[in-house]
Amino acid sequence: MRQAARFFIRQTIALYTTELIRQGCSTAYATLIILWTLVCGLFFQVVVSYATNHELPLGETPMSFFFRASPLLLPLLLIVFVPHLSMDAIAGRKENGRLEHLFICGVHPLALLTGAWAATCTLLLALLIPPICFHVFLSIHGTADFGRTLSALLSLCAQSFSIAALGYACSSIMNNKQSAGLLALGLGLTWWVIDAFGHVFESSLTIVRDVLPLTAFVYDSAFGLLSGSSLLAHGIIVLLFLFLAHTVLSPRHQKRIKIINSGLALLLAGLVLTSSSQCTAHSDFTSTQEHALAPQTQQLLRELQPSGISATLVTTPHMLHDPIDGGIINATQHSLSLMKTYGLTVHELDPGLDPAGAAKLGNDLQISADDWQRPLLLLRHSGSYEIIPADELGIVTERDGQRLLAAVQVEGSVLAALQRFLQPQQIQVAWYVGADARPLGDIHTNNPRCLGRFHRLCAQAGLSLTLSPEWETLFTCDPRVIMLLGIHADPPAEIIQQLDRFLNNGGRLCLGLDGIHPQRLPKLAQLLGRYGIHWSDAQLVFPASTQSGEQVFLSSQEIPALSNTGPSAFATAEQHAIFADHLVALQATRGEFKSLSLFPQLALAEGAFLKRDGQLPTASNSQLYSLVAAGSEKSHKLCRITVLASVDMLSDEHLSVSGNRLLATGLVHWLAHEKRSALLPPKAVEQTRYLLHDGERAFLIWGIGLGLPGFSFLCMGYIVWRRRRTV
């Protein structure tokens, strides 16, 4: 037995070596390599040319865009060229009797398949050389994000290997090279189209799944196994295709067995494909996976596990296709997938597809028909539900350039909601709604002067709001937080004194100015001046030194500088430490990217709360929608103050922008809770900025952009020539 195994391995290695030589020196492989380096070279040129001021921000946007694009592009090249490599190994041998001769010589079909497939895979690994060269070159000029590179390269490998396996399956089925090549090309293109238009097929499959009860079980089981790991799906596909090829090739199998086995393998491969719903492999070790979260968040999620939380995301079909709300759904699903990672139960409910389930849940929860028209997140713990509208979670669509931001948002929204859900606490908030204050109005009226949405956010944050129409009743509820939003006149003197005592005792104050007019609120200005906050002319001013040392001045002039810290709010843990208490403000500069640009980091300077008229203020006396926040510790009690230059930031109109909603969510949590649930620091990431001199930039453009394809052309030409020359 051992001798047979040893002989099998020797045969496999011999065939592997032979195939490596044969395929590696073929013109099809040479063409593939040259084309691939050409594509890479052109792409690198675009990346370098696009970078402005000779700064090449690598690791986040440009390379991630490349690696995101390449898994779509690479299959096309592979689908065209890999059949050329595989069809000669099996179908070509069948044509001229070499295959039969090999079997007569005692070659095991599996040894032939494994050896040939492994040789193809080895040769396809060469496709990784150009991206690695590019990355290594750039890493000389800065610190590289190898986690992301590794993810992308593994994805490329996985899909290369599975396309190669598909080629061998087709080559085994057909009896001549041409038909094998055509079959592989047809199946590969179909696979690619399914991936490119995956959302269409996914909807159809979901319907099929729900119509047929048996498929629902199979589909859900497979989906549960594979949806989180396309690498695993690709691994299974490779095994199935090789099994199919082996069954067909094996001369000792009866025809009936061959047909049954092939059908079974194809059925399983189809199931795997539809379950993973993608032909391109995606792996990501840096964004959606747990280690991208801050340690505190991971700890929080681990603590949630034994609590038995289950979440139901209620969606509606039109929501899934809506460009804006669909994005919210996607982002919410992204959050839910994180919850899944930590073992929390999550499932989706579409009232259109499952009316019975929706009706039952609707009855249990007394949800009105109107509520079903928008996405909801239902959290259940110990039998009771809490309903959170998914469009108010403050999550924006996940994009590659925004990975840590997405994690921060998750930490600041869904997880905050989860934490609040687990530890329900009512924090008393006094909200002055006198005649001179901004009205609350109705919820979701999109009234620019209305604070209805903000009111709703406060309620969701577990704040118990006591509306006070008179100054005298402001402190009667023993508040933890006081909201003074949009007032036009100072409170009476005794209220100012009470406010002073309130802040000294660790109270929290949210002051929303209705434009910066120093003469309008002189007493409040004097009070807050003691905490280091001043306002004059058209700006909020936060001096460099205060009692606590926790301060930041944030205005539009500083926002462009902040945009250089990378796509996440904080590129380093040090930066986070500096701005820890003011994350709410910084998030606002990052939260909204309505225009999808090729390199989104260039749009970072567009702060969400500057979005109202779509332009940065240019004049020095422009009215700014700025926010300052301060924390001050006195007598071991931490008081917190936020001042908004314009309360419009919290109006319904502005809160319809997700970045502003995020700001408001963070603001509320920061004010209300001792724990900084919205302020969990993101995972520390390394600085990934690169500075290139003119010479280096020129080298990159000409050397890699054009030199690489030229070099590969010369290399492959030499290899083929040397192979074919007569000794």
End-to-end CA distance of the chain: 42
Is beta strand 508-513 parallel, antiparallel or unpaired with respect to 481-487?
Answer: parallel
Q: How far is the CB of 247 from another protein (least distance, A)?
A: 17
**Nearer residue to another protein within complex by CB, 13 or 126:** 13
Using the minimum distance from each CB to another protein, give the nearer residue, 181 or 567: 181
DSSP 651-679: SHHHHTSHHHHHHHHHHHHHHH-SS-GGG
Distance CA 318, CA 313 (A): 15
State the minimum distance, in angstroms, from the CB of residue 167 to another protein: 18
Q: Which of 590, 579, 507, 513 is nearest to 550 (CA)?
A: 579
The nearer residue to another protein, 213 or 251, going by C-beta atoms, is 251
Query: What is the smallest separation between the CB atom of 9 and another protein, expressed in angstroms?
Result: 11
The smaller minimum CB distance to another protein, of residues 3 and 595, is found at: 3
The rounded distance, in Å, linking the Cα atoms of 410 and 395 is: 7
Rounded least distance, CB 107 to another protein, Å: 5
Are 134 and 40 in contact by the 8 Å Cβ rule? The answer is: yes
Residue 699: CB atoms within 10 A of its CB come to 16
What sign has the CA pseudo-torsion 251, 254, 259, 260? negative
Strand-pair partners of 310: 345, 380
Q: How far is the CB of 32 from another protein (least distance, A)?
A: 17
Secondary structure (3-state) at 691: strand
What's the closest the beta carbon of residue 10 comes to another protein, in angstroms? 6
Phi, psi for residue 34 in degrees, rounded to 5:
-65, -45
Compute the least distance from the CB of residue 183 to another protein, in Å.
Answer: 23
Q: Which is nearer to another protein, 2 or 724 (CB)?
A: 724
Between the alpha carbon of residue 35 and those of residues 25, 80, 139, 234, the distances in Å are 16, 12, 25, 25
Residue among 636 and 725 whose Cβ is closer to another protein:
725
Q: Which is nearer to another protein, 382 or 726 (CB)?
A: 726
Complex with another protein: residue 106 or 306, whichever CB lies closer: 106
- What's the min distance (Å) between Cβ of 717 and another protein? 17
In the complex with another protein, which residue's Cβ is closer, 25 or 387? 25
Smallest separation, CB 14 to another protein (Å) = 4
Cross-strand partners of 467:
431
| Shortest reach from residue 1's CB to another protein, in Å | 13
Shortest Cβ distance from residue 90 to another protein (Å)? Answer: 13
Which residues have a Cβ under 8 Å from the Cβ of 72 and sit 6 or more positions away?
Answer: 195, 196, 280
Strands 481-487 and 463-468: unpaired
Query: What is the spatial distance between Cα 539 and Cα 626, in angstroms, rounded to a whole number?
Result: 8
Q: Which is nearer to another protein, 94 or 590 (CB)?
A: 94
Q: Give the residue with the Cβ less far from another protein, 2 or 636.
A: 2
- Min separation Cβ 30 and another protein, Å: 13
Q: Is the Cβ of residue 702 or residue 721 nearer to another protein in the bound state?
A: 721
* CB nearer to another protein: pick between 104 and 578: 104
DSSP 512-527: EEBS--TTTSHHHHHH
> What is the contact surface with another protein in residues (CB under 8 A)?
7, 10-11, 13-15, 17-18, 21-22, 25-26, 93, 96-98, 100-108, 251, 723-724, 726-727
* Complex with another protein: residue 254 or 363, whichever CB lies closer: 254
Whether 277 and 205 have beta carbons less than 8 Å apart is answered as yes
Q: Indicate the residue among 55 and 100 with the shorter CB distance to another protein.
A: 100
CB of 411 to another protein, least distance (A): 58
Residue pair 399/590 in contact (Cβ under 8 Å)? The answer is: no
Of the pair 19, 648, the CB lying nearest another protein is at 19
- Using the minimum distance from each CB to another protein, give the nearer residue, 17 or 49: 17
* DSSP string for 242-273: HHHHHHHH-TTS-HHHHHHHHHHHHHHHHHHH
Q: Return all residues near 540 (Cβ < 8 A) that are at least 6 apart.
A: 516, 533, 534, 553, 555, 624, 626, 627, 628, 643, 645
Give least dist CB 102 to another protein, A: 7
- Tell me the CA distances in angstroms from 681 to 413, 449, 685, one per residue in order: 14, 33, 11
Q: How far is the CB of 13 from another protein (least distance, A)?
A: 8
Buried b / exposed e over 355-386, threshold 16 CB at 10 Å, is eeebeebbeebebeeeebebbbbbbbbeeeeb
Q: Between 213-226 and 198-211, two packed helices, what is the crossing angle to 10 degrees?
A: 130
Q: Which residues contact 612 (CB under 8 A, 6 or more apart)?
A: 625, 648, 653, 654
Distances (CA, A) of 505 to 277, 577, 635, 677: 57, 25, 8, 22
**Could you tell me which residues come within 8 angstroms of residue 559 by beta carbon, excluding any fewer than 6 positions away?**
589, 605, 607, 610, 616
Q: How far is the CB of 301 from another protein (least distance, A)?
A: 54
| Three-state DSSP state, 225 | helix
Shortest approach of another protein to residue 719 CB, angstroms? Answer: 13
Taking a C-beta distance cutoff of 8 angstroms, is the pair 136, 89 a contact? no
Q: How many CB atoms lie within 10 A of CB 304?
A: 20
